[in-house]
Structure 1
Amino acid sequence: MTTNNSPRAVTAKALITPDGVISQPLILLNEGRIESLTTTAAHTALEGTLHLPETTLSSGFLDVHVHGAGGRDVMEGATDAIGTVAQVLAAHGTTRFLATTVTAGVDEILRALDTIATSIEAGPASQLAATPIGIHLEGPFLSHNKRGVHAPEKLQQPVIDLYDRFAEAARGHIHLMTIAPELPGALELIQYVSSKGVRVSLGHSDAVATEARAGIAAGAVSATHTFNAMRGLTQREPGMLGVVLDADKLYAELICDGIHTTPEAVRLWLRMKGLEHAILVTDGMAATGMPDGDYLLGDMLAHVENGVAMHDGALAGSVLTMDRAVANVQTFTGIDLPSAVRLASRNPAAMLGLPSASEWADFNLFDDAGRRTGTILRGQMLPT
Structure 2
Amino acid sequence: MSLAIRARRVFTGTSVVEGGVLVTDGPRIAEVLPDAPFDVALDDCTIVPGFVDAHCHGGGGASFSGDAEAVLALHRRHGTTSTVASLVSQSLDVLQGQIRELSPLVKAGELIGIHLEGPWLSPARKGAHPAAALRAPMASDIATLLDAADGTVVMVTIAPELDGGLDAVALVAGRGIVAAVGHTDASYEVVREAIARGARGATHLFNAMPPLLHRAPGPILALLDDDRVWLELICDGVHVDLDLVRYVVAGQPGRAVLITDAMAAAGCADGDYQLGDLPVEVCCGVARIAGQDTIAGSTLTLDAALRHAIASGVDWTTAVRALTVNPAAYLGLSDVGSLAAGHWADAVALDADWNVRAVLRRGDWLVEPT
TM-score per shorter chain, which class?
A: over 0.9
Q: Which amino acid aligns with 1:17?
A: T
Match of 2:309 in 1: 329
Match of 2:93 in 1: 107
Aligned ranges 1:36-47 → 2 under 5 Å: 36-40=31-35, 43=36, 45=37
Query: Which secondary structure state, in structure 1, belongs to the residue aligned with residue 125 of structure 2?
Result: coil
Shift of 1:50: 1.9
Cα offsets for 1:228-275 (capped at 9, x unmatched): 100111111110122222223321101111111112322332244x11
Query: Which secondary structure state, in structure 2, belongs to the residue aligned with residue 89 of structure 1?
Result: helix
Match of 1:128 in 2: none
% identical aligned pairs: 36
Cα offsets for 1:162-214 (capped at 9, x unmatched): 11111122121111111111111111111111111101110000001001101
Return the alpha-carbon distance in structure 1 between the equivalents of residues 68 and 23 of structure 2.
31
Return the alpha-carbon distance in structure 2 between the equivalents of residues 203 and 150 of structure 1.
12
Return the alpha-carbon distance in structure 2 between the equivalents of residues 158 and 369 of structure 1.
46
Query: Contact 1:75–1:109 at 8 Å: present in 2 too?
Result: no
Q: Which amino acid aligns with 2:195?
A: I
Query: Contact 1:194–1:219 at 8 Å: present in 2 too?
Result: yes
Match of 2:174 in 1: 195
Query: Which secondary structure state, in structure 2, belongs to the residue aligned with residue 267 of structure 1?
Result: helix
Query: Contact 1:232–1:242 at 8 Å: present in 2 too?
Result: no
Cα offsets for 1:352-377 (capped at 9, x unmatched): 12233372211111223444323222
1:60 aligns with 2:50: yes
1:291 aligns with 2:269: yes
Cα offsets for 1:84-116 (capped at 9, x unmatched): 111001011100010000001111111111111
Query: Which secondary structure state, in structure 2, belongs to the residue aligned with residue 85 of structure 1?
Result: helix
Q: In the alignment, which of 32, 50, 63 is matched to residue 27 of structure 2?
A: 32
Return the alpha-carbon distance in structure 2 between the equivalents of residues 8 and 291 of structure 1.
36
Aligned ranges 1:86-97 → 2 under 5 Å: 86-97=72-83
Q: Which amino acid aligns with 2:47?
A: L
Match of 1:377 in 2: 361
Match of 2:282 in 1: 304
Query: Contact 1:99–1:132 at 8 Å: present in 2 too?
Result: yes
Residue ranges of structure 2 left out of the alignment (5+ in a row): none
Q: Which amino acid aligns with 1:279?
A: V
Match of 1:368 in 2: 352
Query: Contact 2:57–2:85 at 8 Å: present in 1 too?
Result: yes
TM-score by length of 2: 0.93
1:357 aligns with 2:347: no
Q: Which amino acid aligns with 1:357?
A: S
Return the alpha-carbon distance in structure 1 between the equivalents of residues 34 and 81 of structure 2.
24
Residue ranges of structure 1 left out of the alignment (5+ in a row): 1-5, 124-130
Query: Contact 2:130–2:277 at 8 Å: present in 1 too?
Result: no
Q: In the alignment, which of 59, 72, 85 is matched to residue 62 of structure 2?
A: 72
CA RMSD after TM alignment: 1.7
Range moving further from structure 2, 24-33 or 283-292: 24-33
Match of 1:237 in 2: 216
Return the alpha-carbon distance in structure 2 between the equivalents of residues 166 and 122 of structure 1.
20
Q: In the alignment, which of 190, 193, 205 is matched to residue 214 of structure 1?
A: 193
Match of 2:148 in 1: 169
Match of 1:246 in 2: 225
Q: Which amino acid aligns with 2:303?
A: D
Range moving further from structure 2, 148-157 or 361-370: 361-370
Cα offsets for 1:305-347 (capped at 9, x unmatched): 1111111521100101100001001112x12221111000111
Equivalenced residue count is 361
TM-score by length of 1: 0.90
Return the alpha-carbon distance in structure 1 between the equivalents of residues 257 and 31 of structure 2.
28
